[in-house]
Amino acid sequence: MLAVVLRITGTVPSVLLWRRAREPHEGRWALPGGRLGATEDVEASVRRHLAEKVDLAEVAHVEQLSVFSDPHRGPAPRRVATAFLGLVPSDADPAIPDDTAWHRVDALPPTAFDHGEITRVGLDRLRAKLSYTNIGFALAPDVFSISELRRLYAAALGHHVSATNLQRVLTRRGVLVPTGTTAAPGPAGGRPAALFRFSEHTLRVTDPFAALRPPSGAGAV
């Protein structure tokens, strides 16, 4: 089991890695994971390994990513890995041990095995699902302004996102719910921003044919 655990830190996606304490690749950064227990299903196993190895007992969303079975992905004996994608809200600050850290996906250190490639596959999955599902709930705080949500989508997608278009699209899909409250005014004053929350915190396909494209594309968000 391997877990690609992503969250948005600042304006970039980051992945959780821990430094291997044994060969092969001792000292290299790796995705957290471990073996499947005799009485576990695969999702229960990956959640247990996260809780045990990186003190991360809960993530907002977990789904199976892929099976990686290239015979040359590491030294003998052959290793086949089932990888999962896990998402952590941007306002979460889980306790992690000293040998574990968040790393920017666009500036990964040398990783064990093919864990860098697996990380990028996880980010690609997130980007695709932001287009046609409500998976943004797993990146966002419980309550947020549209500008905050726009920042999270733009960071994950890697391109500019229009706040106005994002609000229109997600409202049309029934994804956003206004809280009826506003954010505290900032130091510059101005009109307080309205606050929203996601209508659901379980994954749902909202538009199977949608694509959140960069601004150059027609109808881009």
Rounded mean pLDDT, 161-179: 96
Q: How many domains does the chain have?
A: 2
Task: Specify whether 155 is located in the same domain as 113.
Answer: no
Does residue 219 belong to any structural domain of this protein? no
Does residue 119 belong to any structural domain of this protein? yes
Among 92, 107, 130, give the residue marking a domain's end: 130
Does residue 24 belong to any structural domain of this protein? yes
CA neighbours closer than 13 Å in the CB half-sphere of residue 57: 1
Position 218 scores a pLDDT of: 42
Does residue 209 belong to any structural domain of this protein? no
What domain range is 106 assigned to?
A: 2-130
Contact between residue 55 and residue 95 where contact means Cβ atoms under 8 Å apart? yes
The CATH number of residue 186's host domain is 1.10.10.10
Residue closest to 95 by CA, chosen among 35, 156, 50, 140: 50
Does residue 49 belong to any structural domain of this protein? yes
Confidence of residue 181 (pLDDT cuts 50, 70, 90): very high
Residue type, 47: R
Task: Specify whether 180 is located in the same domain as 83.
Answer: no
Task: Specify whether 119 is located in the same domain as 189.
Answer: no
What percentage of the chain has pLDDT greater than the value 70? Answer: 95
Among 83, 101, 130, give the residue marking a domain's end: 130
* Secondary structure (DSSP) of 44-85: HHHHHHHHHHHS----SEEEEEEEE--TTSSSSSP--EEEEE
Task: Specify whether 12 is located in the same domain as 120.
Answer: yes
Position 219 scores a pLDDT of: 44
| pLDDT 10s digits, 98-154 | 999 999 999 999 999 999 999 999 999 999 999 999 999 999 999 999 999 999 999
Does residue 183 belong to any structural domain of this protein? yes
Q: Which H or E run contains 43?
A: helix 42-54
| pLDDT 10s digits, 55-94 | 777 899 999 999 998 887 877 677 888 999 999 999 998 8
Task: Specify whether 119 is located in the same domain as 154.
Answer: no
pTM above 0.85, yes or no: yes
Confidence of residue 208 (pLDDT cuts 50, 70, 90): confident
Residue 3: strand pairing partners: 84
